[in-house]
Structure 1
């Protein structure tokens, strides 16, 4: 049975529900879920990590029962990275291992780049490096095509339909198509319950809307941002990238092109889809333990 969540009030202006596990004083690990999930992303992973780590797995701002501040600007990446640092401060954690999947991985990349004094080690699970991703959206036709869903999710006109039966349609059309092996019963009900919180769908989608990532349409030739041809700072931490190889939205080049930007890189590929954290949790745990987390 899952542990009850702890409500944590942060100076960033939000209250987060957090699953807390393990012993205080043990090496700290913070786990960041992605879209459209919650701390439950880590349901098959937390029990193992908690044997020898102090584990924090928040429902990030906008998700499940955590705060849902108004306005797209409330979901800008800097705001969310600040939540992570404030959560660590709340528990008097100086340095920690940061683990992120999907949007949580995007936050983890940014936190590692911006706070190398705090993020000691980094684990990324099916989440593209920000520079590599943006470059691929300009230079690789396959990744550009696979990422058109971002433009659809940025369309605010869809929000009004994401209630009641609309959540069932979203589950079937947008979420389930990326799941290897399917999802039903109590697991499906848990997602629908999280999404039904007032304002949750708009808040979750606002992560996409607040992002500065440019997603050109297929065949378009927009002006190329100058920073794509300029040097980009490396991630200095030891970094483990775990990748579900059957991910339909994030293509293999996003891993293949990482080494120049992540000098201390280890890659573990897993035969699973995008949601590898719960499609193949044993493989994820094994990869982490081989890396000596």
Structure 2
């Protein structure tokens, strides 16, 4: 693994990001967006694979690792990260690109596909819920609602005090225990703890949840249903591959139900892995992307 360089990139949005770069800038561009609570290292296997024949760009998104960490909750509205994405592509003189997103990076990718459709040539989503289906599932699927209660916990303004009491090491263990083999992550743990201990990092990362407009009712709460859940929703025009790891305990398989009606050119690949599929099942993820790209020509 490896084979990439890190560059600090100042964007027109006023944010500077730490960015992993690989491959020739003359090749087609692929931009990879990680999620919570990670960094460009989410994609360490895919960077090596696709850097062979693409110009790969994998930023630490705002709040994460060595990228800037503005402290206002409003700095983490999803449209801010979509603007970062567009500015990042502009910085490298890229008009159209393949966009790959996982977890929160996938949420940004869904929104970017809706707002920047003329720039995203192809879209790859890995275990990240479509905004309509996710919000609908939080009203209609009790299991998903129950699995998503952690979002309410992360939004609690006292959550940082909880982490301070238990320590970052224990927070690491509790964050990954439902999703990954902690023994297999032993070598990675110091990397995460270093990133999370950067000044302001924990609050900035949690602000992604606090800025989100997603409504997470309590398990037995009766909430007013947003009208948009039952209204027409625009379909994405670009070819889209969704890779879904079926052992994800945070985002349940209900998230892939109905996607075909929201994407004009839709491919679904299911794999046997947990939520953090890009590094839990890197060969399966990379092979699915590679096969799909080659089929598209």
**1:96 aligned to 2:97?**
yes
Q: For each residue in 1:221-259, what CA deviation from the matched residue of structure 2 results, as whole angstroms up to 9, or x when unmatched?
A: 111111111101111110000111100011111112211
* Residues 180/132 of structure 1: CA separation in 2 closer, same or farther (3 Å cut): farther
* Residues 228/182 of structure 1: CA separation in 2 closer, same or farther (3 Å cut): farther
State the distance in 2 between where 1:273 and 1:180 align.
Answer: 10
**1:76 aligned to 2:77?**
yes
Decide whether the 8 Å contact of 1:10 with 1:87 is kept in 2.
yes
Structure 2 residue runs of 5 or longer lacking an equivalent are none
Decide whether the 8 Å contact of 2:100 with 2:109 is kept in 1.
yes
Tell me the residue number matched to 1:63: 64
State the distance in 1 between where 2:194 and 2:162 align.
Answer: 16
Decide whether the 8 Å contact of 1:16 with 1:59 is kept in 2.
yes
**1:200-239 correspondence to structure 2 within 5 Å:** 200-239=201-240
Decide whether the 8 Å contact of 2:40 with 2:58 is kept in 1.
yes
**1:25-64 correspondence to structure 2 within 5 Å:** 25-64=26-65
Q: Which moved more, 1:73-82 or 1:159-168?
A: 159-168
Tell me the residue number matched to 2:278: 277
| Superposition deviation, residue 186 in structure 1 | 2.2
Decide whether the 8 Å contact of 2:29 with 2:97 is kept in 1.
yes
Structure 1 residue runs of 5 or longer lacking an equivalent are none
* Residues 163/39 of structure 1: CA separation in 2 closer, same or farther (3 Å cut): farther
| Superposition deviation, residue 219 in structure 1 | 1.5
Partner-residue secondary structure (3-state), 1:222: coil
Q: Which TM-score applies when normalising by structure 1?
A: 0.97
Partner-residue secondary structure (3-state), 2:49: helix
State the distance in 1 between where 2:272 and 2:183 align.
Answer: 15
**1:132 aligned to 2:133?**
yes
Q: For each residue in 1:116-146, what CA deviation from the matched residue of structure 2 results, as whole angstroms up to 9, or x when unmatched?
A: 1111100000000000000000011111111
**1:119 aligned to 2:130?**
no
Tell me the residue number matched to 2:261: 260
Tell me the residue number matched to 1:21: 22
Decide whether the 8 Å contact of 1:8 with 1:16 is kept in 2.
yes
Q: Which moved more, 1:218-227 or 1:156-165?
A: 156-165
State the distance in 2 between where 1:265 and 1:182 align.
Answer: 37
Decide whether the 8 Å contact of 2:133 with 2:255 is kept in 1.
yes
Partner-residue secondary structure (3-state), 2:234: coil
| Superposition deviation, residue 17 in structure 1 | 0.3
Q: Cα RMSD over matched residues?
A: 1.3
Tell me the residue number matched to 2:180: 179
| Superposition deviation, residue 31 in structure 1 | 0.2
Q: For each residue in 1:147-171, what CA deviation from the matched residue of structure 2 results, as whole angstroms up to 9, or x when unmatched?
A: 1010001111011343596111111
Q: Which TM-score applies when normalising by structure 2?
A: 0.96
State the distance in 1 between where 2:183 and 2:137 align.
Answer: 29
